[in-house]
Structure 1
Amino acid sequence: MLHKLNLEHILFLDIETVPEKEQFQELDDAKQELWEQKSKYQRKEEFTAEEFYDRAGIWAEFGKVICISVGYFKMQGETLQFRVTTFHGDESKLLKDFKNLLNGHFSEAKHLLCAHNGKEFDFPYIARRMIINGISLPWKLDLFGKKPWEVPHLDTMDLWKFGDYKHYTSLKLMANILGISSPKEDIDGSMVRDVFYEEKNLDRIIKYCELDVVTTAQVFLRLRNEPLLEDYQIRKV
């Protein structure tokens, strides 16, 4: 079934997120209490709510999107290129820019969004942050009333499950077992918060995010049993 999909109709993406405030104490009293309640199950008795706050970025209610990297296939003459770009900066603006991309170039029924663990994280996170920022949802993220087969989302981790709902496989592990050479990463997901708030180095985060988009596309190609992208086929725009 995957072979029937036109690669040029798929938008690959990845997001990076951080806590909405740098420090727990910057939250108002109500939000601090809500965070304490929300995180209680995960942190148990090992951490206080304040100590656990550096992980708040994984919840859309307590975090924010700092960049969305996207990639898409495009035929250039006889060469299939994979073009990558990133929306970053003010959250409201980057979400609006991403929405404009969807509405302008990936709004038709044939178009699909693809991310690794996207159904559990990237897609709902973006949708929730759009609502929080007062941005109406683009059709590709508005799932209300859609039947399962009408949802325009692909998920490389979901494809790898083959119906096993208990199975989690990281993108890094999938790349390894599928023989995809992973470029040396400057950071990993656990470091994004510190690099953003303490180092104030968004460029490092963008590079990491774009590498994940390329790797997701490579995994998708391997799931179709097709040749991997060569370096000359990958272009930053």
Structure 2
Amino acid sequence: MLKDLNLNKVFVIDIETIPQHEHFSEMPLHLQELWEHKTRLQRKEDYTAAEFYERAGIWAEFGKIICISVGLFHKVAGVYHFRVNSYAGHEEPELLHHFNQLLKEQPADQLLCAHNGKEFDFPYLCRRMLVNGIEIPPQLQIAGKKPWEINHLDTMELWKFGDYKNYTSLNLLAAIFNIPTPKDDIDGSMVKEIYYQQKDLPRIVTYCQKDVITTAQILLRFKGLAAISAENITLVK
């Protein structure tokens, strides 16, 4: 699988998102009504719109990005190394701008890889860039392209092997490939509380970086290669 993939042309990415407001009541009234309408099928009768707002971060219309982590492969003396950098902060336009500039400095055919990226990370980034008036870089533009012209890799999609019924979490893939779990401290459901209540953005950044590293290790296993050892992974401060 992926035998001819050049890892030097791959950016492995992950994003962390939260609701735009800490509490449902802080949203403008017209957006509260739109949220209630948007989520009525998902909520059914189990939750009120206010209770369900805990999950608003997964919708780009009601959430925002607080961290983007990017990982790059490179070889030293024939051995793969991996370097991870993060753009994080309270001002979404600023971190989106920095990520946008990074992509603009790369070739237009630079590959982007994420776990469930085609359903979540890639479209979320595009939507939030549009909302913030930021031009979408070539690597994220898919309009008018044929499927084989889109340079996006999705480790969850690769694992499906055409089985569209199958959802497999990053944590599960890590377990079956004997890769350290990225969920050893927190998981995605805890990000809102850690951001708004504990105000611990660095902890969220660490979690995001772990997801990137795990995705990269899984991509290596898909290529039939060994995982990168911990001493060959660099986290940029």
Match of 1:178, as an amino acid? Answer: F
Structure-to-structure mapping, 1:135-150, within 5 angstroms: 135-150=134-149
CA contact (8 A) 2:195 2:201 kept: yes
Q: Is the 8 A contact 2:182 2:214 kept in 1?
A: no
- Name the structure 1 match of 2:116: 117
Q: In the aligned structure 1, how far is the partner of 2:210 from the partner of 2:47? A: 32
| Alignment of structure 1 residues 1-237 onto 2, 5 Å | 2-89=2-89, 90-105=91-106, 107-109=107-109, 111-182=110-181, 185-237=184-236
Q: Deviations over 1:178-214 (max 9, x none)?
A: 1213266221111000000000000110000000000
Call closer, same or farther: CA 1:24–1:215 in 2, change over 3 Å: same
Could you list the structure 1 runs, at least 4 aligned residues long, displaced by more than 6 angstroms after superposition: none
Paired residue secondary structure (1:97) = helix
Deviation at 1:159? 0.2
2-structure distance, mates of 1:212, 1:32: 32
Shift of 1:22: 0.8
Unaligned 5+ runs, structure 1? none
Deviation at 1:13, TM superposition (A): 0.5
Change (3 A) 1:60 1:227: same
Q: TM-score, normalised by structure 1?
A: 0.96
Q: How big is the shift at 1:77? A: 4.1
- 1:86 & 1:2 partners in 2: Cα distance? 26
Count residues with an aligned counterpart.
Answer: 235
Instruction: Please give the alpha-carbon distance, in whole angstroms, between the structure 2 residues aligned to 1:203 and 1:215.
Output: 18
Residues 183, 161 of structure 1: alpha-carbon distance in 2 compared, 3 angstrom cutoff: closer
Name the % identity: 55
State the distance in 2 between where 1:123 and 1:74 align.
Answer: 23
SS across alignment from 1:50: helix
Worse overlay, 192-201 or 181-190? 181-190
CA displacement at 1:5 relative to structure 2? 1.1
* Pairwise CA distance, 1:24: 0.7
Q: Is the 8 A contact 2:108 2:138 kept in 1?
A: no
- 2:182–2:207 Cα contact (<8 Å) kept: no
* Cα distance in 2 for residues equivalent to 1:32 and 1:184: 32
What secondary structure, in the 3-state scheme, does the structure 2 residue paired with 1:181 have?
A: coil
User: What is the letter of the counterpart of residue 64 of structure 1?
Assistant: K
Alignment partners' CA distance in 1, 2:39 and 2:187: 22
Spell out, residue by residue over 1:105-135, the C-alpha distance to the aligned partner (whole angstroms, 9 max, x if none): 3x332x2000000000000000000000011
1:54 and 1:70 map into 2 onto residues whose CA distance is: 26
Change (3 A) 1:198 1:181: same
Moved more, 78-87 or 179-188: 179-188
By how many angstroms is 1:156 displaced? Answer: 0.2
Matched residue SS, 1:12: strand
CA drift of 1:236 comes to 1.1
